[in-house]
Structure 1
Amino acid sequence: MNVSAAVPHIMLVAGEPSGDALGGELMAALKEMTGGRVRFSGVGGTRMTAEGIASIFPMTDISVMGPREIVPRLPAILKRIRQTVNHAVAEKPEILIVIDSPEFTHLVARRVARRAPSIPIIDYVLPSVWAWRRGRARAMKKYVRRVLALLPFEPAFLRTVGVDCVYVGHPAINRVPEPGAGERFRAARGIPPGVPLLLVLPGSRLNEVKHLIGIFGDTVRRIAADTSGLRVVLPVVPHVRERVETAVASWPVEVVIVEEEMEKRAAFDAATAALAASGTVSLELGLARVPMVIAYRAEAAVGWFALRILKIPSVVLVNLILDRPSVREYLQFRCTPEALAEGLAPLLHDTPERARALADLDELRDRIGVGGEAPSRRAARAVLEILEASPA
């Protein structure tokens, strides 16, 4: 299909706020790169609605997490899957883009591929098949034309199973602190430039905080005893703030709690080092050049099972992207205050360990593409390539 000669209809399906944000940015880039000659339909939230999508139903109907939430709502979710598939089959968009939330979006994609095989399907955000279920990657070849990858090692992995994949970049690139933000953060809170500032990030879910906040508190006590003038900043999301405030009241240092997004970015820029729960935050810290140690602790049975089925050498995205154990990680029984404090101590001072960590994070920024074209524009270009290649 020649995009310049027609107004293509692109259907997008997102299932949660992070996917809605990606979808909204992609839609904006597509409009810019086609001069507005594109129309949208599908399922999205506030960000995608602002860019012109009329959601088939409220995205909140399918924004659920885990079996405990999914099971009681399964009939309603299955109804929404059928509704989404029927829309695609009836409207016959030039392309269908499913965004993250694979428990919902991939069910939609498989059914659309069976009923309307002529519709090219793009998957934006590869499920972590390289970590858990490699067989699922092979299955994707049957219904996905192209994957838009957030991580630079994903295209090479998918090539091994014959799936077309383009690296477009991670949205964390958009959250890199602006120059000078850290200096302003320190000045506003009376933290001199040379004073060590530790970021503590116990997670965004209550269960994560429950398992880590006590261990992190004991780690801070050990670090504070050996680090003169230590200051601590703890970014939170609203639903865990009360739990965190109760816990840090007994810590031996004053803890600055920040919740607003721009303050969090500024705190990253101001930090000397970080103690963080395993997750995407490790990549955000790395792109902000914050040396870190990563921790993970869950119920014994859950943690044992998770570590047994992992197909990768590390749970830290920085290590996977660099393909070496740059960031220390302390998982399950290794996640102790003594071990965490030992790993953190050299990162808070001018040491060879800190210099090596910063050099590695500079390499990470280069591999991810900080300072280059925005991920949304790379993604839009990859979508338009498929549109151009499609028959009229």
Structure 2
Amino acid sequence: MSARALTVMLVAAEPSGDERGAGLARALKRRLGEGVRFVGVGGERMAAEGVESPFDITQLSVLGLVEGLMAYPRVVACADATAALAARERPDVAILVDSWGFTLRVAQRLRRLDPALPLIKYVGPQVWATRPGRAKTLAASVDHLLSIHAFDAPYFEAEGLPTTFVGNSALSLDFSRADPERLRAQIGAPAGAPILLVLPGSRPAEIERVLPAFGEAVALLKAERPELQVVIPAAPTVAEAVKARVAGWSCRAHVVEGEAAKLDAMKAATVALACSGTVTTQLALAGTPMVVGYRIGPVTYAILKRLVRTRYVTLFNIAAETEVAPELIQDACNGLALAAEVGRRLDDETLRRAQVREQYAALDKMGRGGPDPDDAAADAVLEVLAARKA
């Protein structure tokens, strides 16, 4: 590799950020070939693109305000290790992907380390939903924002932060190679048997808080529908924890791993029971009707209830301005309620089709069918660097 190769630092602390970081790395490679090298922090997907992380990012998958306070020393130590990596590698640009609390601390350290280093934030905090003051904080910490929502820019540009809308990578997920029949063969599902897809999240805390309620719902649904096939695509960060919990269930659930198996399962599913997050957009794109559930710590919930300004937590529900997919949050996220909503959809094909149509309409509002976000993000990064050089 040329000694003059552009050194790009990519920092991501969660599975969704790892996926975005990997996509951006691939897009930069397509443009620069051997003229780019990567350093930074990430998970398995970024590692496959050449980002050797100095620590395991699963320790940064923190959910909730109280849990965040408890994890603070760990977050600070990892931010310090990231800054030390930058001091050794001397990157030409640092791109900080999602994970507000961690990447903000990294940005502050990198700014002190090298005030001239261009800092780009990829995915801004959802200031339109809660804590609008974060727009000002981010503007003081980085040089440019790559946003995934078309409505982000005014909030950040009002604080003087240049913002480029690049689109949401979840909206460009490629299902062209997904094979529902391959999934059915893998789990031995009889022809015509309904498939319930269970997606309990990618953070350890989500597995602890959400999966028990999902498990109760599955038991109730299986008791009434013995032919129901249950499939759980497990994220790499929590695969072992998911397997350990599911092993204790009273009914059989097929745990599958890997991106290909997840996409196969999304296309094969009759209905999905999903933890709130990026996966809900992916499911909508696959044409899968779903029920959304979520639980956080009671103290965190009480605080967020006062801060959050949107009626919904699911992005396509927010875009549609109505509850396209049912959201069962906190105490409502219990086995009986979840089973009732999932059961209605398992038993009513007309309801399933109507929900899929509404999900697609909401995705169109969110920018489905637009330019590839990985390519748009890569172009934006190179434009920022070119402007700096000029």
Question: TM-score, normalising length from structure 2?
Answer: 0.80
| Contact preservation (8 Å) 1:12, 1:41 | yes
Closer/same/farther in 2, CA of residues 299 and 41 from structure 1, 3 Å limit: closer
Cross-structure match for 1:135 = 133
1:128-175 deviation line (CA, Å, top 9, x unaligned): 444442201122222323211234443354345443322323343565
Q: Corresponding residue for 1:309?
A: 307
The equivalences for 1:326-337 within 5 A come to 326-337=324-335
Question: How big is each residue's C-alpha offset from its partner over 1:38-90, in whole Å with a ceiling of 9 and x where there is no partner?
Answer: 4555556676566566x6x824499534443442674x4464365356568xx
Residues in 2 aligned to 1:112 and 1:277: alpha-carbon distance in whole angstroms: 34
Quick one: structure 1 residues 206 and 82, their matched pair in 2 at CA, closer, same or farther if it must change by over 3 Å?
closer
Is 2:262 aligned against 1:277?
A: no
Pair 230,112 (structure 1): closer, same or farther in 2 beyond 3 Å: closer
Q: Which residue of 2 aligns with 1:240?
A: 241
Superposition deviation, residue 182 in structure 1: 1.0
Give the 3 Å change call, closer, same or farther, for CA 235–72 of structure 1 in structure 2.
closer
Q: Do the aligned residues in 2 keep the contact of 1:176 with 1:287 (CA within 8 Å)?
A: no
2:274 partner SS: strand
Structure 2: distance between partners of 1:105 and 1:180:
33
3-state DSSP of counterpart to 1:134? coil
1:308 and 1:377, CA in 2 relative to 1: closer, same or farther beyond 3 A? same
| C-alpha deviation, 1:286, in angstroms | 1.6
CA distance in 2, matches of 1:238, 1:41: 26
Displacement of 1:120 after TM fit? 3.2
Q: What amino acid sits opposite 1:71 in the alignment?
A: P
Distance apart, 1:386 and its partner CA: 1.4
Candidates 27, 43, 50, aligned match of 2:25: 27
Instruction: Kindly indicate whether the alpha-carbon contact (under 8 Å) linking 1:147 and 1:165 is maintained by their aligned counterparts in 2.
Output: yes
- Corresponding position: 1:386 with 2:384: yes
Separation (CA, whole Å) in 1 of partners of 2:228 and 2:36:
54
CA distance in 2 between counterparts of 1:42 and 1:334 reads 40
- Are the counterparts in 2 of residues 346 and 354 from structure 1 also a CA contact under 8 Å? no
Taking the aligned partners of 2:94 and 2:46, their CA distance within structure 1 comes to 15
Paired with 1:351 and 1:220, the residues of 2 have a C-alpha distance of 19
| Residue number in structure 2 paired with 1:261 | 259
> For the Cα contact (< 8 Å) 2:9–2:91, is it kept in 1?
no
2:357 aligns with 359
Deviation for aligned residue 1:361: 2.4
Report the CA distance shift for 1:104/1:304 in structure 2 as closer, same or farther (over 3 A): closer
1:16 pairs with 2:45: no
Secondary structure at the counterpart of residue 247 of structure 1: coil
Correspondence list, 1:31-50, <5 A: 31-34=29-32, 36-38=34-36
Measure, in 2, the Cα distance between the counterparts of 1:14 and 1:139: 19
SS in 2 for 1:390: helix
Q: 1:58 aligns with which of 49, 54, 59?
A: 54
Deviations 1:248-285 (A, max 9, x none): 2x13xx42222333222211110011112222222222
Return the alpha-carbon distance in structure 2 between the equivalents of residues 341 and 47 of structure 1. 34
Question: Which stretch of the first structure deviates more once superposed, 199-208 or 110-119?
Answer: 110-119
- In the alignment, structure 2 segments of 5+ residues that lack a partner are 63-67
Structure 1 residues 116, 334: closer, same or farther in 2, change over 3 A? same
Q: Distance in 2 between matches of 1:379 and 1:229?
A: 45
Number of residue pairs aligned between Structure 1 and Structure 2: 378
Contact map agreement 1:97 1:124 (CA 8 A) in 2: yes
Aligned partner of 2:94 in structure 1 is 96
310-319 vs 100-109, greater mean Cα deviation: 100-109
Separation (CA, whole Å) in 1 of partners of 2:335 and 2:5: 56
* Distance in structure 2 (CA, Å) of the matches to 1:45 and 1:208: 18
Bigger radius of gyration, 1 or 2? 1
**SS of the residue 1:220 aligns to:** helix
Mapping 1:151-300, distance limit 5 Å: 151-173=149-171, 175-179=173-177, 181-192=179-190, 194-224=192-222, 226-227=224-225, 229-236=227-234, 237-248=238-249, 250-251=250-251, 254-300=252-298
Q: State which drifts further: 263-272 or 165-174.
A: 165-174
| Higher mean displacement: 23-32 or 78-87 | 78-87
Local SS of the residue matching 2:264: helix
Assess if the C-alpha contact under 8 Å between 1:12 and 1:99 holds in 2: no
| Amino acid of the structure 1 residue aligned with 2:312 | S
Shift of 1:323: 3.7
Alignment partners' CA distance in 2, 1:205 and 1:33: 33
Please tell me whether the aligned partners of residues 41 and 57 of structure 2 are also in contact (alpha carbons under 8 angstroms): no
Look up the match of 1:71: 73
**How far apart are the structure 1 equivalents of 2:11 and 2:39?**
11
Relative to structure 1, the CA distance from residue 81 to residue 16 in structure 2 (aligned partners, 3 Å threshold; closer, same or farther) is closer
CA contact (8 A) 1:97 1:123 kept: yes
2:196–2:270 contact (8 Å) kept in structure 1: yes
Gapped regions of structure 1 (runs ≥ 5): 1-6
Secondary structure of residue in 2 paired with 1:98 = strand
The 3-state SS of whatever aligns with 1:313 is: coil
| Native 8 Å contact 2:169 2:373 kept in 1 | yes
- AA partner of residue 70 (structure 2): R
- SS of aligned partner of 1:133: coil
